[in-house]
Amino acid sequence: MKNLLTPIKIGSIELRNRVIMAPLTRSRSNREGIPNDLMRVYYEQRASAGLIISEATNISSMGVGYIYTPGIWTQEQIEGWKPITQAVHSKGGRMFLQLWHTGRSSHPDFHKGEPTVSASAINSGGLVNTYDGLKDKEAPRALSLSEIEDTINDYVKAAENAIEAGFDGVEIHGANGYLIDQFICSGSNVRDDMYGGSIENRCRFGLEVVAAVCKAIGNDRTAIRLSPSGTFNGMSDETPVETFSYMVDKLNDHNLAYLHIMEPYAPPGKTYVPQDSYLKDREVTQHFRKVYRGNLMTNSGFTVEEANDYISNQTADMVAFGKLMISNPDLVERIQISTKLNEWDVKTFYSGGEKGYIDYPFLNQ
């Protein structure tokens, strides 16, 4: 019977186990988005995971929306990532880079005063943590057709840069209210052109990004993450089950390395409140297992026991862990011997520095 410790093949890559490190923003980069040696230590510590998915990484300067987050659009950023991928590979690990454009979930301060961009000029509300402190989000500017084409090219170039930096593949961030999600959902997309209106049109941008990235680096090195019941960052959709069922069904055409589906998510310290039309917690993966024919990864608050059940029952093929992987760099080894797990410290998730980042104890400590 399959479990978290059973090997699996994604695309052309063999993973030692199905314990996946979820993409986790930790805000340890510098202002220029260049990865550093502290990040190398952090990822190298967790290389026993079957696959590490990097923290969300900006594909362009316009994609930036959070302080001290890394990028993949400059040569300096590429060079900064190389020691990290080399360190993970030296320990026998595998690593994908998550491609990120925050869209309207940003602030003009990150773009020299220029408005943020999105599918439509709809303000999501809420606050953004800028280098000058918390500020209210502002209404974005709707991308033109030519800018949409340019943004797709940004995803492609970022994917090619990731391969140059030594990553085994990329995961396109289509979840959590960021740019691709903003196009998919009716609450953030009121366009009247080929990228708005019908479900087919609203999914077009995300599917074109997937197709373009697959063409550039190979479908076997391409994945995508979706949050079909997500309301984070002010997201809503009139028919979420129908919308995301269409999107996921179309992803079957691309023979991706995997599809990463999120169960409902709430940021640290907040509670998820489901909308009536949304699939509830622990219903999402079960629904899309019936729609998607390839490798399916799930994520959001799974215990080790629950994850093993999902894999043994074939509800999911892999489970991504976030907080457990933060606090247990040797999570795989702890699962192997069924021992206790370290507790995480929410206060250090985005605090910068070594504390709560590379100082969680290993079993032998």
Residues acting as catalytic residues? 178
Q: How many CB atoms lie within 10 A of CB 24?
A: 19
Non-local (6+) Cβ contacts of 73 within 8 A are 58, 59, 60, 61, 154, 157, 158, 161
**Dihedral class, residue 279 (left if φ above 0, else alpha if ψ from -120 to 50, else beta):** beta
Interior/surface letters 87-112, b for 16+ CB within 10 angstroms, e for the rest: bbbeeebbbbbbbbbbbbbbbbbbbe
- What is the C-alpha to C-alpha distance for residues 252 and 304, in angstroms, rounded to an integer? 28
Task: Of 144, 150, 102, give the one whose Cα is nearest residue 126.
Answer: 102
SS3 259: strand
DSSP classification of residue 71: B
- What is the C-alpha to C-alpha distance for residues 17 and 7, in angstroms, rounded to an integer? 4
Do the beta carbons of residue 16 and residue 92 sit within 8 Å?
yes
Count of H helices and E strands in the chain? 10, 14
Do the beta carbons of residue 166 and residue 94 sit within 8 Å?
no
Place of tokens 């999911």: 316
**What would the two tokens of residue 311 be?**
């894999």
User: Between vectors from CA 59 to CA 51 and to CA 171, what angle results, nearest 5°?
Assistant: 25
- What is the C-alpha to C-alpha distance for residues 207 and 291, in angstroms, rounded to an integer? 16
321 to each of 64, 92, 172, 212, 311, how far by Cα in Å? 24, 19, 18, 29, 14
Task: Of 62, 64, 29, 63, give the one whose Cα is nearest residue 43.
Answer: 29
Do the beta carbons of residue 328 and residue 361 sit within 8 Å?
no
